[in-house]
Amino acid sequence: MTAYITGIALFALAILISVSLHEFGHMLTAKAFGMKVTRYFVGFGPTLWSFRKGETEYGVKGVPLGGFVKIVGMTPLEEEEEELDEKDQKRVFWRKPLWQRTVVLAAGSVTHFVLGFLVLWILVAFVGIGVNPAYAQAAETGQEDVAVEVAPCVATSDPATGTAGDCADGQVEGPAAAAGIENGDEITAIAGAAVADWDGLLAAVGELTPGEPVAVTVDRDGTERTVEVTPYAAEVENADGTVEEVARLGVFVYVDPAIPYTAEGAGPVSGIGETFTYTGDMFKETFIALGQLPSKIPPLWDSIWGAERADDTPVSVVGASRLGGEMVQYDQWAMFFMLLVVLNYFIGVFNLLPLLPMDGGHIAIAWYERFRSWVAAKRGRPDPGRVDYLKLMPLTYAVIVVLGGFMLLTITADIVNPITIFN
């Protein structure tokens, strides 16, 4: 349980660092172009600590749910630029060339892309990517069958059970591994009941009792055989904060070899090409996931009221952190950092959507202003000037309400009926 909580905290911290770097990207490019940056803070709410260097105040606020940077003149709603002297008036955001404003607005997402790429390159080049259920599911390879990856060692709720083989203290040999189940085997039945898909496996394992042997039927290359597996006891935290013991077999989603992956580090040079390949695949799946997002809302809602939680439903920061905790608990650090890569790529793409209040919305408005000015010049009419943000506020508020509602929905589902990887 300690490792699980530590993993949650580490993943939440990694997300906070990613978001802080997002804002740092805005600030760094704005300062490089001579724009006036007055504030850079990590977090929201009351200020806990701050200092001023030059014209910028840096600090930390009490609610660690993101961060922000204040660039004077980002929107016409700001009044701060009226207080500037003539010299600084030339430094406000909207007076800068369009290409510079575009770079500054896109810098947050680019920071996510760079961070994700660097972490992915390190994994590919020096660690090797072998087991990555989140990526396998995104690539649609593991949902229609129940091919499994076998955990050689698993943590138990009772460290006194000792160790086995090369397992660390507090770990024992995985039940599935001990029973002779191998990576890529497909589980077709548990206790005589057919298992049709991964969700069915989750439900079947949830009915087992730790320590009581159960017959598990597996299909290996078209040949079925039945083995006896004794589930171990794992501790799971409920929505009300209580902890209970549940049965686990020591298996998780299998990554099909048809998906390019590296079993060993590819090296720093060869790893660059493989990292680009991975990145291209992840971007493709990110756009597919965004297109499918509305269809995932009904099953997400149903999962709150007792329906099975599908593994391909969206997760919040809470759910991602819980998955990160589970990966640390089972010493799956490559998966931990791969999940962080996927999350950074997704946030980077999502933030570029042409909707306010996302950066993509500000970019779209900036280019619309330029296009409108060009049309007016061609027609011999006066420049219409800047877009009236006040007229866009109802649409902006609508987007905020939708995103806020979606966030509350995913957080609730992640608390009441969380996704789990290891079983």
Mind telling me the catalytic residues?
23
Closest by CA to 155, choosing from 101, 233, 95, is: 233
Can you tell me the distance from the alpha carbon of 261 to that of 351, in angstroms, rounded to the nearest whole number? Answer: 28
Residue listed under structure tokens 């330029």 = 370
Cis status of the peptide bond prior to 357, with omega within 30 of 0: yes
Q: Is 249 in contact with 257 (CB distance < 8 Å)?
A: no
C-alpha angle with apex 184: 183 to 189, nearest 5 degrees?
A: 105
Q: How would DSSP label each residue in 53-66?
A: ETTEEEEEEEEEEE
Residue listed under structure tokens 């105040």 = 57
Can you tell me the distance from the alpha carbon of 102 to that of 257, in angstroms, rounded to the nearest whole number? Answer: 41
Closest by CA to 420, choosing from 234, 288, 260, is: 234
Q: Is 395 in contact with 356 (CB distance < 8 Å)?
A: yes
- Torsion (CA) 280, 282, 287, 290 in degrees, nearest 10: -170
Three-class secondary structure of residue 310 per DSSP: coil
Residue 241 is classified by DSSP as S
Q: Which two tokens stand for residue 349?
A: 């793409």
Q: Is 191 left (phi over 0), alpha (psi -120 to 50) or beta?
A: left
Can you tell me the distance from the alpha carbon of 354 to that of 357, in angstroms, rounded to the nearest whole number? Answer: 9
Can you tell me the distance from the alpha carbon of 27 to that of 71, in angstroms, rounded to the nearest whole number? Answer: 8
Strands 214-220 and 186-190, how do they pair?
Answer: antiparallel
Residue 135 vs residues 195, 229, 280, 373, 413: alpha-carbon distances, Å: 23, 28, 13, 45, 21
Given 3-state DSSP classes, what are the helix, strand and coil percentages for the chain, each rounded to the nearest 5? 50, 20, 30
Neighbours of 383 (CB within 10 A): 11
